[in-house]
Amino acid sequence: HFGHRSGMLSLSRTHVSYEVKDDVAVVRMNDPNSKVNTISIQMQNEMTEVMNELWANDAVKSAVLISSKPGCFIAGADINMIQACSSAEEVTKLSQEGQKMFELVEKSPKPIVAAINGSCLGGGLEFAIACQYRIATKSKKTVLGTPEVMLGLLPGAGGTQRLPKMVGLPNAFDMMLTGRNIRADKAKKMGLVHHLVDPLGPGLKSPEQRTMDYLEEVAIQFAKGIVDKKIPLQKDKGMMQKIQDYVMSFEFVRNQIYKTVHGKVMKQSKGLYPAPLKIIECVKTGVEQGPTAGYLAESQNFGQLAMTAESSALIGLYHGQVACKKNRFGSPAKEVKTLAILGAGLMGAGIAQVTVDKGVRTILKDTTVQGLARGEEQVYKGLNDKTKKKSITSFERDSILSNLCGQLDYKGFEKVDMVIEAVFEDIKIKHAVLKEVEAVVSPHCIFASNTSALPIKDIAAASKRPDKVIGMHYFSPVDKMQLLEIITTDQTSKDTTASAVAVGLKQGKVIIVVGDGPGFYTTRCLAPVLVEAVRVLQEGADPKKLDSLTTSFGFPVGAATLVDEVGIDVAVHVAEDLGKAFGSRFGGGNVDVLKTMVELGFKGRKSGKGWYVYEPGRKIKEVNPEIGEILENYRMKANPAVSSDSDVQYRLISRFVNEAVLCLQEGILNGPLEGDIGAVFGLGFPPCLGGPFRFLDSFGADKLVAKMQQFEAVYGNQFSPCQLLLDHAKDSSKKFHK
Amino acid sequence: RDGLNSKKTLARPGVKNIVLVEGVRTPFLLSGTTYANLMPHDLARAALQGLLNKTSLPKDAVDYIIYGIVIQEVKTSNVAREAALGAGFSDKIPAHTVTMACISSNQAMTSAVGLIAAGQCDAVVAGGAEFMSDVPIRHSRKMRKTMLALNRAKTLGQKLSLIGSIRMSHLSPELPAVAEFSTAETMGHSADRLAAAFGVSRLEQDEFALRSHTLAKKAQDDGLLEDVITFKVPGRDIVSKDNGIRPSSMEQMAKLKPAFVKPHGTVTAANSSFLTDGASAVLIMSEEKALAMGYKPKAYLRDFVYVSQDPKDQLLLGPTYSTPKVLERAGLSMSDIDVFEFHEAFAGQIMANLKAMDSDWFGQTYMGRKAKVGTPPMDKFNLWGGSLSLGHPFGATGCRLVTTVAHRLKKEGGQYGLVAACAAGGQGHAMVIEAYPQ
């Protein structure tokens, strides 16, 4: 059999192989060195070689492109390949090579069917859409998307040119600008794939293996069908599609779309991210000026973007995120099978939600029926929303909820492996529940405190088993915020830490493990920013102005809105506790402003009023009219030397960054990477800056120190740079990230 | 006869012998044909009357009546009671209805066995019915809500405002589907995936379906289907034969397009069981009672099991799981069984089960066994046709299987028979039946 022999000849190939079944070449991708396939130089070279062989082989009439890896078609281009380049031209050349290869695929005289099971992202998607036909498994693991924008890049191998033609301008923009993953059924509706194959259950092989084999069998059938002209490559367009195409044929309609999309991007990114704008530009060039100009724009812009600070910041975060999804403490001696949460408030219920849906039995305990009912309803609603969005079935929702056990007493706690308390932030209450818990749980049970500021060692002081006490600081809303800050004391055992990290990872969290101290890492960085924000307000800026200054610097949420979200009362607690612990360095605005607000019942969003007024159903929030008077009573005079918009921004950011560096200096932080991840994923530090440490590396520690010293002259030691920051300012070769 | 049979009886000390006295069924008809204007209890009634006629059972001689049904007519939700009353049974005999998808009448029979074994009853009629010519189609939930509110509305104003709130969308009806509630997948779709998982080809399925129709035709022509009663359908003709048996050719069958997974699936209308109207009934007694009443029992009903597994990926694998379990209970091995009657939901489902039973890997990985279950020999398997050809009124099939085993044991001279079936919900059932000494 000729085909088999040609397959055998390629023994030297390690990433791509093929065999000929009847007259269909089945091309299999399998990177031997990784769990996922990426488009690397090696993969690209071997693929080109194989394709050339297929095109030259008369026994082959069509091809099926498939991955041998369960759960992954191609996860994207190899980031290292891009990062290894030192100039925009080099990256542009990479892009052009990719474009050329996919152009050959697109023009293949023999139809190529991409058989997709698992992630088909970035360069993988660009490869797939260059093929003549796409079949995907309807598995939850099968996702298609162009996540390049999240790395500050654009789809650089023809994506910006092919996608608009395939799915239409609006969908193409949505995909490329959000980078979101698209499930297989949605992809089919959008026209991104032609046909779906259902995943199979157990048979004579494992479900995963059999599903892959089945996908291949079906793809081979389709490849033959295409050759025999039994299966059309173009689907008949529906009425809606025809109307849309007609509308899109008008230049002014398209221009309106470019304008709207551009406006949206500017509004959301504040112009701080170059990639989305470049994506719009590439698409526009391709559509309006034709493919030659389009492909050129794509490769050149790709090259330019790869050299931007924003891209390296985002890629840094990506690597950091991957690193923070690993358990560096090893696997715990005992897996947590039953988790108990004390307090069914917003946090407690949120933690319950992300636990039950991982199949862990969860006890949610509260002290009142009302509190418990509210908490259980929150969990139900969180899951039901997923049902409405069809990401889980109603049956899955019910079955997940069966893992939740709401109760008012400590019944069954003897079987609990870990307790996470999310009760009120008061050391006396924390001590009380700790003692109650220790009286009923078995000795191996871990006690974790979800506190945002109380030192864990103070909580552990009441414990019989301080080695089992740890901090697990979740962020609100728990089901949306990715970060989990785990706090260990000197007494916390390594196994306890390993177990807490394992639970957090199971809950889908990105985890930083930090040392103990008032405010740990995240709260400690946030507190000075908040007091500075209060000072800015006292100096006459209104909350909207403050918010616009912070968001235009890249924070996703403005400082005033953030305080409302956190809760004014919580902010008072944090400011006072940390103020006591750290003294005048945490001074700035007058905490009494916040206290007065709390007295008047303005506790932030949860109470309906804070800096803003919150009314259900209203999208545009107005400034709380009653805070004007409060601020007037605490009015401070702004010093014009340090009060320009930019000054205010740097006053806020420098206090954040200085505190972060101090945490590293004091050993609270394990390293700058976790510092960056914690700041971005927990506190919304501008992702385009990559976190406080990466920001210092790119902005220059010396420049920031110079600004701080200018502020210090006016406000005092709140702005004194810490030693480590001064060291970096003195020696510009010192970098936090290599 | 006894001398010919070297196999010993499964009777156990301390366990009551329970016997099948008689089993009947109405002809199984394609839904929408001659039964179209009836109601479910009419079919059940016909089966009960047929049983009464055939056994000359006094109308007050049984202690209890149990019926199985899947798609319930809301007006006759306890169809057992309505049918019993209409069939002329004494109104002093209690009756209840059970539902367990395609093994509903199996459940009716084993419930009867349970009542007798527990000493609560001596004689029980069990049966099943299904009527697919008419199914309850409901108003939408929104409309139902409005109508219920309308019932409670006091003033004309309230009523008018409720009527005014009715929109076009309220009017779209809710149709029942042969789909799993838990997974929303239709059974045919699941069967197609199951066949694919076990690598069952379209050809194998068509061949098996053709076998079923061919064997059923032969059994019908040879007069072997003696459980079928003659039924004068009110307002229509007398029916006395199943009307879904249609042996075709492989070429004809190959022309059909897949019915569920399009276009690459393998399950077609021709290799699936069809929507059927029909009812069945059996008379079950303790052996003592049967003999005391002068009956000659047909068979002993021995061990039975129910199993259940993943309703998504193993929806129709019931026989694979239930067969070894019931054999073990009875202390028998596959080779001891002389007659196999498996419910044929889909040809692909039967083939998948046979492949699963023939796979060491499947037995080890999914059933916790040391080796494969082993497959029934085809020369003992569904020799008088099956659900694919005779039809499959969901609630009624179980009694047909058991009665057929009894008749085949008698005809073929075997000692043990085995019934196995799959059911929606990922459930399954199996029962061992022993020939009654001639």
Chain B residues within 8 A of A228 when measuring between CB atoms: none
CB contact under 8 A, B182 and A395: yes
A731 in reach of chain B (CB within 8 A): no
The pLDDT score that the predictor gives to residue B4 is 46
Contacts of A53 (CB under 8 A, 6+ apart): A6, A10, A18
Closest residue to B366, CB basis, from A202, A214, A221: A202
Which residues on adjacent β-strands are paired with residue B306?
Answer: B429
Assigned token pair, A177: 């600008």
Task: Give the pLDDT band of residue B202 (cuts 50, 70, 90).
Answer: very high
Residues A537, A543 contacting (CB under 8 angstroms):
yes
- Pick B197's closest partner by Cβ from A203, A221, A395: A203
pLDDT at B98: 98
- Whether B179 has its CB under 8 Å from any CB of chain A: the answer is no
The answer to whether B257 faces chain A, any CB pair under 8 Å, is no
pLDDT for residue A243: 85
Residue B197's closest chain A neighbor by CA? A203
CA nearest neighbour of A79 among A145, A142, A156: A156
**Residue A196: which H helix or E strand, with range?**
strand A195-197
Residues whose CB falls within 8 Å of the CB of residue B233, separated by 6 or more in sequence, listed in order: B34, B35, B38, B239
Q: What is the pLDDT of residues B63-92, one digit of tens each?
A: 999 999 999 999 999 999 999 999 999 999
> Which residue's entry shows tokens 């499930």?
A183
Distance separating alpha carbons of residues B426 and B183, to the nearest angstrom? 11
Banded model confidence at residue A114, pLDDT cuts 50, 70, 90: very high
Put simply, the answer to whether A204 touches B355 (Cβ < 8 Å) is: yes
Tell me if chain A has a CB within 8 Å of the CB of B366: yes
Distance from CA of A145 to the nearest CA of B (A): 26
Catalytic residue among A46, A298, A376, A485: A485
Give me the phi and psi of A124, to 5 degrees please. Answer: -65, -40
Nearest to A204 among B182, B183, B359 (CB): B359
Q: Is residue A10's pLDDT more than 50?
A: no
A133 lies within 8 A of chain B by CB: no
- Out of B261, B352, B362, the one facing A198 most closely (by C-beta) is B261
Alpha helices of A270-368 — where are they, by DSSP H? 274-289, 291-306, 309-323, 346-356
Q: Does A384 touch chain B (CB under 8 A)?
A: no
How far apart (Å, rounded) are the C-alpha atoms in residues A23 and A708?
A: 71
- Give A195→chain B minimum CA distance, Å: 10
Question: Taking all residues of chain B, what is their mean pLDDT, rounded to a whole number?
Answer: 95
Would you list the DSSP string of B119-145? Answer: TS-SEEEEEEEE--SS---BPPHHHHH
Residue B321 touches partner A, C-beta closer than 8 Å: no
Cβ neighbours of A210 in B, within 8 Å: 196-197
| Cβ contact A200–B199 (<8 Å) | no
Inter-chain CB proximity A198 and B189 less than 8 Å: yes
Closest CA to B202 of B274, B275, B259: B259
Tens digits of residue pLDDT in B44-53: 999 999 999 9
What is the DSSP code (8-state) at residue A248? H
pLDDT computed for residue A139 by the predictor: 94
Identity at B110, one-letter amino acid code: T
Subunit contact A202:B183, Cβ cutoff 8 A: no
Residue B314 touches chain A, beta carbons under 8 Å: yes
Alpha helices in B56-201 (DSSP H): 79-86, 104-117, 141-152, 156-164, 187-197
> Can you tell me the ipTM of this complex?
0.93
Q: Where does the pLDDT of residue A453 fall: very low under 50, low under 70, confident under 90, or very high at 90 and above?
A: confident
Does A8 have pLDDT greater than 80? no
Is residue B399 flagged as an active site residue?
no
The reply to whether residue B313 touches residue A202, judged by beta carbons under 8 angstroms, is yes
pTM, rounded to two decimals = 0.92
Measured distance CA(B107)–CA(B154) in Å, rounded: 46
Within an 8 Å CB–CB cutoff, is residue A215 touching chain B?
Answer: no
Tokens of A146: 């162009």
Q: How confident is the model at residue A11 (pLDDT cuts 50, 70, 90)?
A: low
Least CB–CB distance from B362: residue in A198, A204, A214: A204
* A202 in B contact zone (CB under 8 Å): yes
Give the pLDDT of residue A211: 97
- Tell me, what's the pLDDT at B384? 98
> Residue length, chain B?
438
- Say which residues have a Cβ less than 8 Å from residue A570's Cβ, sequence separation at least 6: A425, A452
- Position B39, amino acid: M
State the best of B180, B182, B204, B264 to mutate against chain A, taking most chain A CBs within 10 Å: B264
Residue B121 catalytic? no
The per-residue pLDDT for range A535-592, each reduced to its tens digit, is: 999 999 999 999 999 999 999 999 999 999 888 998 998 899 899 999 999 999 999 9
- For B202-261, the three-class secondary structure string (H helix, E strand, C coil) is HHHHHHHHHHHHHHHHHHHHCCCCCCECCEECCCCCEECCCCCCCCCCHHHHHCCCCCCC
Q: What is the pLDDT of residue A62?
A: 98
Best A188, A198, A218, A235 residue to mutate vs chain B (most B CBs within 10 Å): A198
pLDDT for A1: 39
> Judging by DSSP bridges, how do beta strands B299-308 and B18-25 pair with one another?
antiparallel
Q: State residue A620's pLDDT score.
A: 81
Give CA–CA dist B213/B244, Å, rounded.
9
The residue annotated as part of the active site, out of B343, B392, B407, B429, is: B392
On whether any CB of chain B is under 8 Å from the CB of A185, the answer is no
Pick from B189, B197, B199: CB nearest A202: B197
Confidence at residue B2, expressed as pLDDT on a 0 to 100 scale: 43
- pLDDT level of residue B176 (50, 70, 90 thresholds): confident
Q: Is the dihedral of CA A721, A724, A725, A726 positive or negative?
A: positive
Query: In the predicted model, what is the mean pLDDT of chain A?
Result: 94
Q: Give chain B positions within 8 Å (CB) of A203.
A: 194, 196-199, 352, 355-356, 362
Residues of chain A in contact with residue B194, where contact means CB-CB under 8 angstroms, are: 201, 203
Closest partner residue to B198 (CB to CB) among A197, A198, A204 is: A204
What average pLDDT score do residues A611-620 get? 87
Query: What are the chain A neighbours of B355 within 8 Å (beta carbons)?
Result: 203-204
Instruction: Check if B361 contacts A (Cβ < 8 Å).
Output: yes
A530-534 average pLDDT score: 94
Does residue A198 belong to the interface with chain B, where contact is any CB pair within 8 Å?
yes
pLDDT at residue B6 in the model: 60
- How far apart are the C-alpha atoms of A525 and B137, rounded to whole Å? 62
Residue of B nearest to A396 (CA): B182
Residue A6 clears pLDDT 50, i.e. is over it: no
